[in-house]
Structure 1
Amino acid sequence: MHTPARTSSLKRILSRIATGIATCLLVVVLSGCFGQQPAVETDDATVTEAKTVLASITIDAPGWSKDSSPFVVHFVGLDEATADVDFYHAVSADDEASAQVELPAGGYEVGYISAINADGSIYRTPDEPATVVIGEADGESDDAAGEQPALDVDGSFEQVPAEDVTQDDIDGILGDLADAVEKGDETLSGDAGKDVVDTATGNAQNAPNVDKDKVEQAGDEASDAVKDEPTKPSTSGNGGSGSSSGNSGSSSKPSGGSSSSSSSGGSSSASKPAHQHAWVAQTEQQWVVDEAAWDEPVYETRAVTKYIAECRYYKEDGSAGGCGASATFDNATDASNWMKDHLLAHRYDDEDHFTHYYSKTEYEYVQTGTVHHDEVGHWETVTTGYKCSGCGATQ
């Protein structure tokens, strides 16, 4: 039966991270005691448990507070011992316990999802994950005293003020959060996961240059992706196995991300590549007005009879008599009444008054109605935005 050899303590630190601007320092310190777990016997093989490490994650980010959403750290295993590891972990500013996570010892890619502060500001994280390896300290035993084995991942990230945050920035963070809660540990599953999404969504809506409706939609989609059960990092390694028939299994994971296994004794899984948005145009039919509705007036020519009453007469010598007063009316009755009133008013005058009326026909151009003309237009297909077919983020 295969018996695992005694391993030495791990000390050496190898780390690398993508570059940024040193306005926000995020430090992930993985520290703890490594140990080789006892071999577990099964009917077919003896499986060696992987060495594990308790990771302490320390984040130093100016402006990051209890009102901010958590930073999310993504761990993806790179080698045989960590091939089964692919999960996300949230670190909150006001929860020291959230900065502890247990991992199998080995190689990893470590990526980050930015926190969103209460004012809508964010942190610019690297486009590519950092590659880190936990190695063995040669010549030291498990019982060696002194410095604890540790893995340091130091990152300097550019802080983005709220007024410079774009819709694409927020879409990217909320889209990545939707992926994270699908593979999140206990800090990103159940009610904890929904709280993370709610805080990020609420803070994102405070950025002045974003569409609040789009942010709310992306937040709802991320919240719907939260799983009830957490994803746990695998602590069973592929360091070696055997069977009663003498056959042994092994597996390897090339740098390109593919994996293979020669037998059921070993297993491996490919790391998940970073999410790439697949934008799909969102369209709708909109009515375009070519000519607004309007009312056309209708006119016609009408004959109108007018009645002119006047106080006037002509003498034999051709000169005019009377006071010359006159008035025009629409009917003969009003003209007659005017004549009577005029004579009554001037009955005591020395001057003679003689009244009469006559009629004449005039022609007027008058509006008799309207003709309504309906609006004229056509339908057009317009693009209202874009939506990722994978995560549902919008822009």
Structure 2
Amino acid sequence: MKRVFLVAATAAAAMAVALCLAALQCSASHKADAALSQVEATVKAEGAGPESTKAVVEVLGEDGLAVIEAVKVAPNEAAPLGDLPEGAYSLRVVQAPVNGDGSTYKLPKQPTAFKVGADGRAVSVEVELEPLAVEDMTKEQLEAAADELEEEGKESAQSVRDEAVSRPSVPGSADEVTSKPSAPSSEPTKPNGGGTSTVPSDPSSKPDDTPSTPSHTHNWVAQTETVHHEAEYTTVHHDAVYDTIHHDAVMGSVYVCNGCGQSFSDVASATAHEKEAIDNKNWACTSSRVDRVVIQEAWDEQVLVSAAWDEQVLVKDAWDETITTGYKCSGCGATK
């Protein structure tokens, strides 16, 4: 009887253990089958179009680590990012889109928070970026924009890079338009479409123990040289300058015989004429009068004040120009 009781007790204990294991397995299975919600994001960027580069976004968990790593999305278009379980998350824009002329957008200072429910319903997240015009961009921001255009094979990359040369440098200003991705979570979520992502295609798979060569992104640094330009002059001709001087008429006195009307320029000549008339008893010519006459008419004279001359006038000061001769990667030394 005692033995039968022991067997029964043992069987009951075994059944209890089995029931506990079944309950645990059921709970684990229920957890594994928990509903996932598809998350899609829209990056609103006024003025961005098909010719613009894509934005890069990531989804962070409550610990600030990336549960969905960098995904490229077209601006102003809803794009699926992946499936997430219930929880609190935030959407962070890592790279702003760049337009063909080099204009871009400022990254939000804080990630956009959102929640995923337990009902499996899809979640849409929107974030709006502030436009940044080319004329308001710094050297570093334009260079970052050129890098992004170049990476996506846009022909305007070089003209944007050339524009950056003459812009003021503000160290750290590139962080307003591009930033480093966040550290990945130990349990990244597989993206469900939506574009290129750095998330592994199978998070549950074991990592490959074979060491891999780390990827390298070129950091192109402009190589410049200074070209000196001499001052520029133009020749200005100045005509000769004259002054007009007016001369009044020149007057003089003449002696006119009252008898015959003959005129004499001086007294001696008039007196000799009168003496001769007396000797000849020509009494009509024995006297004379004095008349005022114009010896030279009034006239104007052109007097040279300054001769004609040529002057060299400065048009543009001498200046130094910094030109870009090429680009060199600060990491590997490659040139282009």
Q: Same fold (TM over 0.5)?
A: no
TM-score by length of 2: 0.36
- Greater helix share, structure number: 2
